[in-house]
């Protein structure tokens, strides 16, 4: 048999070949083993002739879903395994009065954001991240989207954020960008409504790899 | 007089607890005092 041909002719799907079985005693053929992988992962090259590594598929993963209730909603023990967090709060309703929505990262007040709604500019320095106007307490067709990049970084003092959303009465979109000051990794988020206790709504937390 | 109820969702364990907020948590919740960017950059006031 010619050098380089397998010594076994009838292989089955899924068979794992060793170097000797492949008559490749110099081990110049790299085989792909799933031994260290988990379901859904993809193979990534680690360089020429190096064994592949298995990593989770890049993309956006829904980490948690929380129904809004009470004076505040705290998301804690946020996993530190993503590049970016996205918090989507939709249909926030409260029982008492219209109010602005506040978001505190690590329960702090480190926002420096600036943006616009309609023709109005707004800016917050050293406060919670907050909507620039009150959300109507009885209307569900509202929400906001908060992106926090580099949220696990502990070597710098700023984390880039994008914050945008929509409220009603009158229908108004807003957008803003800025930084969150703080050298700690973001491990918790507190959401509250200055108008009163939440009675319904949902907080969806996503992680982006 | 009782304090308002807050919802606490531990993402790692999945546990969701609704409980009365402590006085300290309420103080934090409504602490919206603004700071300057200098103060934000130097929370310990060392610069």
ipTM: 0.83
CB of A92 closer than 8 Å to CB of A130: no
pLDDT mean over A44-70: 89
Q: How far apart, in whole angstroms, are the C-alpha atoms of residue A164 and residue A173?
A: 8
How many CB atoms are closer than 10 A to CB A4?
Answer: 10
pLDDT for the residue B43: 63
Q: What is the pLDDT of residues A82-114, one digit of tens each?
A: 999 999 999 999 989 999 999 999 988 889 999
pLDDT for the residue A40: 83
pLDDT, chain A, mean:
88
Q: What is the DSSP letter of A99?
A: B
Q: How many domains does chain A have?
A: 2
- Is the pLDDT reported for residue A176 higher than 90? yes
Let me know whether A20 and A87 are in one domain: no
Q: For A9-23, A143-157, B1-15, which range has the lowest pLDDT when averaged over its residues?
A: A9-23
| Sheet of B16-20, strands arranged across | A129-130, A101-105, A189-193, A72-76, B5-10, B16-20
Query: Hey, of A62, A79, A96, A109, which one would you mutate to test binding to chain B, going by the most B CBs within 10 A of its CB?
Result: A109
CATH number at residue A72: 2.60.120
Q: Which structural domain range is residue A12 located in?
A: 1-56
Tokens of A176: 């803003």
Phi and psi based region of residue A69 (left: phi greater than 0; alpha: psi -120 to 50; beta: remaining) = beta
Let me know whether A118 and A52 are in one domain: no
Q: How far apart, in whole angstroms, are the C-alpha atoms of residue A154 and residue A185?
A: 6
Q: What is the pLDDT of residues A130-141, one digit of tens each?
A: 999 999 998 889
Query: Hey, of B11, B21, B44, B46, which one would you mutate to test binding to chain A, going by the most A CBs within 10 A of its CB?
Result: B11
**Whether A190 contacts chain B with CB within 8 A:** yes
Q: What is the pTM of this model?
A: 0.81
pLDDT for the residue A57: 82
Let me know whether A92 and A43 are in one domain: no
**Whether A96 contacts chain B with CB within 8 A:** no
pLDDT for the residue B37: 73
Contacts of A99 (CB under 8 A, 6+ apart): A134, A135, A137, A193, A194, A195, A196
Q: Do B11 and A74 touch (CB under 8 A)?
A: no
Instruction: Give the DSSP per-residue string, A157-181.
Output: SEEEEEEEEEETTTTEEEEEEEEEE
Let me know whether A182 and A103 are in one domain: yes
């Amino acid at each position: 048999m010619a050098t380089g041909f397998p010594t076994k002719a009838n292989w089955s799907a899924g068979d794992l070949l060793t170097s000797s079985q492949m008559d490749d005693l110099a081990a110049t053929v790299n085989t792909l083993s799933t031994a260290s992988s988990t379901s859904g992962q993809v193979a990534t090259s680690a360089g020429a002739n190096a064994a592949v590594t298995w990593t989770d598929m890049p993309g956006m993963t829904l980490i948690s879903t929380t129904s809004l209730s009470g004076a505040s909603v705290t998301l804690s023990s946020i996993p530190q395994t993503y590049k970016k967090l996205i918090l989507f709060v939709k249909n926030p309703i409260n029982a008492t009065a219209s109010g602005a929505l506040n978001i505190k990262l690590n329960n702090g007040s480190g926002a420096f954001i600036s943006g616009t709604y309609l023709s109005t500019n707004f800016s917050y320095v050293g406060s919670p991240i907050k909507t620039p106007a009150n959300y109507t307490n009885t209307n569900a067709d509202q929400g906001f989207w908060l992106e926090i990049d580099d949220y696990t970084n502990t070597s710098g003092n700023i984390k880039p954020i994008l914050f945008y959303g929509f409220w009603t009465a009158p229908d108004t979109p807003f957008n803003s960008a800025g930084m969150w000051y703080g050298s700690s990794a973001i491990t918790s988020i507190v959401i509250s409504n200055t108008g009163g206790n939440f009675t319904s709504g949902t907080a969806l937390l996503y992680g982006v790899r | 007089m009782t304090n308002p109820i807050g919802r606490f969702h531990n993402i790692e364990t999945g546990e969701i607890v609704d409980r009365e907020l402590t006085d300290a948590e309420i103080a934090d919740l409504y602490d919206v005092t603004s700071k300057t960017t200098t103060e934000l950059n130097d929370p310990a006031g060392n610069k």
